[in-house]
Amino acid sequence: MKFAVIGTNFISHNFMQAAKHLPEFELVAVCSGQLENAKKFAETYQVDYYTDNYQEILTNQAIDAVYIATPNSLHYEPSIYFLKNKVHVLCEKPLASNLTEVNAMIETAQANQVLLMEAIIPVTLTNFFEVKKQLPKLGTIRRALFQLGKYSSRYDSYRDGVILNAFKNELSNGSLMDMGVYSVYNVVALFGVPEKIFANAYLLKTQVDGLGSMIFSYPEMEAVLMHSKITDTHLKSEIQGEDGNLLITGNSSYNKLELALRNQPVADITVKQCEDTMYYELKEFMECIKAGKLESSLVPYQLMRDVHHVMTEIRKLINVSYPADK
């Protein structure tokens, strides 16, 4: 299956590591906004064709699918372009800047009978499905705590007065979009769209959020979500039921699962999974294409819409808006 990669940041290198586990994957084209970066990426993975203009790819290469890993605000236009040209699109999280763009992307995919899938790791993982399997053992679930915080490698530059892409409002960036999206996906995939949303965030001078917290209200439970790009966290995520708890290490990767039922020893219930966790999303994407499926059952369109509805509502509450919103 012939792929093009658009964007050559670290995540695209992680993607290529995952692709090594799938023999049918073939990279035939590379694109970056900076031609030198495209050339270096192509040389690393022994690809002959590279460019700094994604619209030139289809003129020069026959491709089945494209993986898009550009800055957040630059997901929408190339996705629409390739979907209209009947190329399957796997696009990095967050799929787009807002729900309006997400809806347009889905409608374009459906109109052109091709697959669009958001590249979101956790809901495709073996251990995510183990969590769903174990949930009934917890009894009535009353609270879920999901968190992800990592001090950005770009934040030192920000503190020195140099604003890099990770903290630029015009690129639809910030902690919610880059880190919080994992927790939102986890909670919405497990428990659905909340009835009420409460949210707070610390905004940087560039008008993006450096960190934030949310509470999702459901009829019988609440979910507390925390995210950060300016501090680290070593906390586990946890689902609390009346009969026990599930502890999750790494809510973007599900590295370890522990089941703590009341009056019983804590049990390690981790299922072995590939260390290159992007393997699972790429495998799902390729299997859908091979089967002629126009929608992923692991990342269905309704889930994508629900997540980005919630994300858009959270940004309204924390007063973060992007040029793409206008």
Q: pLDDT truncated to tens, each residue of the chain (326 aa)? A: 999 999 999 999 999 999 999 999 999 999 999 999 999 999 999 999 999 999 999 999 999 999 999 999 999 999 999 999 999 999 999 999 999 999 999 999 999 999 999 999 999 999 999 999 999 999 999 999 999 999 999 999 999 999 999 999 999 999 999 999 999 999 999 999 999 999 999 999 999 999 999 999 999 999 999 999 999 999 999 999 999 999 999 989 999 999 999 999 999 999 999 999 999 999 999 999 999 999 999 999 999 999 999 999 999 999 999 999 99
Interacting residues of 242 by C-beta distance below 8 A, sequence separation 6+:
138, 139, 140, 141, 142
Percent of the chain scoring above 70 in pLDDT: 100
Parent domain of 270: 123-275+307-325
What's the confidence (pLDDT) of residue 139? 98
DSSP per residue over 11-78, as a string? HHHHHHHHHTT-TT-EEEEEE-SSHHHHHHHHHHTT-SEEES-GGGHHHH---SEEEE-S-GGGSHHH
Q: How far is CA 141 from the centre of its chain?
A: 25
Q: 214 and 110: one domain?
A: no
Q: 211 and 153: one domain?
A: yes
Give the CATH number, domain containing residue 221: 3.30.360.10
Query: What token pair was written down for 22?
Result: 């799938």
Q: 107 and 176: one domain?
A: no
- Indicate the pTM of the whole model: 0.96
Quote the number of domains for the chain: 2
Interacting residues of 193 by C-beta distance below 8 A, sequence separation 6+:
306, 309, 310
Q: 111 and 128: one domain?
A: no
What's the confidence (pLDDT) of residue 170? 98
Rounded CA separation 288/312 (Å): 28
What's the confidence (pLDDT) of residue 155? 96
In a domain, 61, yes or no: yes
CA angle 220, 224, 225 (to 5 degrees): 140
Q: 92 and 162: one domain?
A: no
DSSP per residue over 304-321, as a string? HHHHHHHHHHHHHHHT--
Q: 201 and 233: one domain?
A: yes
Burial bucket for residue 221 (CB in 10 Å: 0-12, 13-18, 19+): middle
Q: 263 and 284: one domain?
A: no
Q: 284 and 174: one domain?
A: no
In a domain, 300, yes or no: no
Q: What is the layout of strands, in order, in the sheet containing 26-31?
A: 49-51, 26-31, 2-6, 65-68, 88-92, 116-119
Q: 142 and 113: one domain?
A: no
Interacting residues of 201 by C-beta distance below 8 A, sequence separation 6+:
175, 176, 209, 210, 211, 212, 213, 318, 320
What's the confidence (pLDDT) of residue 42? 98
Q: 21 and 91: one domain?
A: yes
Per-residue model confidence as pLDDT tens digits over 60-111: 999 999 999 999 999 999 999 999 999 999 999 999 999 999 999 999 999 9
Q: 110 and 247: one domain?
A: no
Q: 140 and 113: one domain?
A: no
Interacting residues of 321 by C-beta distance below 8 A, sequence separation 6+:
207, 315
Task: Produce one character per residue of 66-97: b if its CB has 16 or more CB atoms within 10 Å, e if not.
Answer: bbbbbbbbbbbebbbbbbeeebbbbbbbbbbb
Nearest in space to 302 (alpha carbons), one of 109, 103, 82: 103
Helix axes 35-44, 10-19, angle to 10 degrees: 30
Q: Which residue has the tokens 């809510």?
A: 251
What's the confidence (pLDDT) of residue 311? 98
Per-residue model confidence as pLDDT tens digits over 230-256: 999 999 999 999 999 999 999 899 999
Rounded CA separation 320/207 (Å): 7
